[in-house]
A and B are shown apart, each in its own frame.
Chain A
Amino acid sequence: MEHSDPATIKKSVRTYMMVGALLYIGTVITVAVNQVHLAVPLAITVALIIATIKGSAVGAVFMHLSHEKKWIYGSLILTAAFFVVLMTVPFFTVSDTIGTPLHHETAASAGAHEGH
């Protein structure tokens, strides 16, 4: 960490406490939203948004990523790029269905119409 004189550190301590409180509040909100029983896609979206905000706070403040050196940013950007590829892999597993009918019923009903 670059800015490490005692005055800056003392100021940072207050920030650490505030972020800790924010993380607790975020956790309570996540569980509270879950108790409401939202539709699954909405529940997933809300939970992941809150988790991303909490994760960003941990990274930016506790891990000091808000003011790091460019070598660390560089390695993390590279990691993020590969991470995105990794998260895209599940989509490739269903890509072999491209070009095939979406519903079997549609194909079956089309066959039935041909019969008439």
Chain B
Amino acid sequence: MEIPYVVETRPDTGLANGKLGIWLFLASEVMLFGALFSTYIILRVGSAEWPHGELNVWLGMANTFILIGSSVTMVMAWASLKLHDFGKSRMYLLATFILAGVFLVNKYFEYASHFTRGELPSHSTFLAIYFTLTGLHGLHIIGGMVVMAYLLGPGARMYKSHPDQYTGRIEYTGLYWHFVDLVWIFLFPILYLL
């Protein structure tokens, strides 16, 4: 049985089901990260002192540049599909995947440097919320990479049989990826700079 409104828009919402679905998912993600940001405020306001300069600002800045770059390549992957250039789209999607990997490698070095100094989440309130926020964000990066790997690999076959549906999948992946970038845009100043 054919699932309706996968590509064509529903008459009542004016949207394909996947589009509304990914936005509702992102709404739940806003609440998830919102709860943790709220926790950060409570911990920070309630603490007598808050450490400054514990994190490597330049590494954080480099990771911000990497994620911004990955957002640009992600939206270009979608735009290329809209221009019927599948090869270019794959190239941009691969670039996004690689940039995500570089972000995680940077994060690995950052975490490793903390662990070797004995700075575990139990070390201080700041490190506890730092590892929670960046750890959850990192899991989202990994989740995005899994989806991108599928769309680059076996999922890419769909472009030949159902190009519009494949374009939709790239768009929804992109919406998720931009959200992950958006979260980092706020995480970077509150954890690394303030």
On A, residues with C-beta under 8 Å from B are 1, 4, 6, 9-10, 12-13, 16-17, 19-20, 23-24, 27, 30-31, 34, 40, 43-44, 47-48, 50-51, 54-55, 58-59, 62-63, 69-72, 75-76, 78-79, 82-83, 86-87, 89-90, 93-94
Contact = CB atoms under 8 A, between A and B. Distances in A.
Contacts, number: 122
Contacts of A23: 68, 71, 185
Contacts of B112: none
B34 interface: yes
Given A9-B79, A27-B64, A83 B57 contact: no
Given A34-B57, A86-B31, A71 B41 contact: no
Contact of A34 (B68, B181, B193): B193
Contacts of B61: 27, 31
B27 interface: yes
A55 B182 contact: yes
Label chain B's interface by main secondary structure.
helix
Interface in B138-191: 171, 174-175, 178-179, 181-182, 185-186, 188-190
7 contacts: A6-B82, A13-B76, A24-B65, A31-B57, A62-B75, A89-B38, A90-B41
Contacts of A43: 193-194
Contacts of A19: 72
Contacts of B178: 58-59, 62-63
Contacts of B65: 24, 27
Nearest to B42: A90
Contacts of B182: 55, 58-59
A16 B31 CA distance: 27
A87 B37 contact: yes
